[in-house]
Amino acid sequence: MESAMTDKVRVPDLLRMKAQGRRITMLTAYDYPFARIFDAAGVDALLVGDSLGMTVQGQHSTLPVTVEQVIYHAQMVARGSRRALVVADMPFLSYQASVEQALLNAGRLIKEGGAEAVKVEGGEAIAPTVRRLAEIDVPVMGHIGLTPQSVHRMGGFRVQGRAGRPGVRSREMLLKDAAALEEAGAFAIVLEAIPAPLAAEITAQVHVPTIGIGAGPACDGQVLVMHDLLGLSACEPPRFAKSYATLWREVSEAVARYLADVREGRFPDAQHSYQE
């Protein structure tokens, strides 16, 4: 059933939602059918995440994902979205080499992919790129804390903001990262795998919305990977994720019933066959 929430969500709406104390909802999406379902349900934003490397492609990290692949998936999500803001991840090495590279690739994600905003990982170091993108009116969502494109430096997918641990950015670094992104013109900041008290401090510090994933309840909004939300993985979801369905099991059971029906001659039956 289509949602009654039909007003198109745009960048200023997320800023307004923070000011009004309204929680922002965000999910990843990678194709047309799920984009339609999530959009019709009333989600505020859809993220075409480079997480597709792991959830769709079966990679061990997000690093192999290319700009062309994000464009391909963004096109499907954009066609399926009527209300939600569509944000596309800028994958590894699509923006780090130079500002000019970032401008061209962000432009492609919007012009070819149909995205309405882009997301980049990093804090102070990436702020000049965020500023330049914002100057040419490309809406940029930041992402700090556990940044999956930094998995090798971090030594794995590790909680950030805890002092004195190798590969971990400190509380002070993350506070500076958030301030730098806001000052550079980011319209929102994803906080991933950060202790809840620190995420609350960052959320109170910045005037732009924070979107949490493993960052506690004080963020202005939350994002989940759709495969975690729907139980579409054979593995247990991360500690911070909550599964609202068990589709892996349900799909497996449906396939098992289909195989049995075919092998035992129950499908197709007369109802599912054409007659003269």
Domains and CATH numbers, the chain: 11-245 (3.20.20.60), 247-276 (no CATH)
Q: Which residues are known to be catalytic?
A: 192
Q: What local confidence, expressed as pLDDT, does residue 2 receive?
A: 46
Q: What is the model's pLDDT at position 6?
A: 67
> HEC profile for the chain?
CCCCCCCCCCHHHHHHHHHHCCCEEEEECCCHHHHHHHHHHCCCEEEECCCHHHHCCCCCCCCCCCHHHHHHHHHHHHHHCCCCEEEEECCCCCCCCCHHHHHHHHHHHHHCCCCCEEECCECHHHHHHHHHHHHCCCCEEEEEECCHHHHHHHCCCCCCCCCCCCCCCCHHHHHHHHHHHHHHCCCEEEEECCCHHHHHHHHHHCCCCEEEECCCCCCCEEEECHHHHHCCCCCCCCCCCCCCCCHHHHHHHHHHHHHHHHHCCCCCCHHHCCCC
Residue 5, pLDDT score: 56
pLDDT for position 234: 85
pTM of this prediction?
0.95
What are the residue ranges in the chain where pLDDT is below 50? Answer: 1-4
Task: Tell me the per-residue pLDDT of 156-183, one tens digit each, with 9 for 90 and over.
Answer: 999 999 877 777 899 999 999 999 999 9
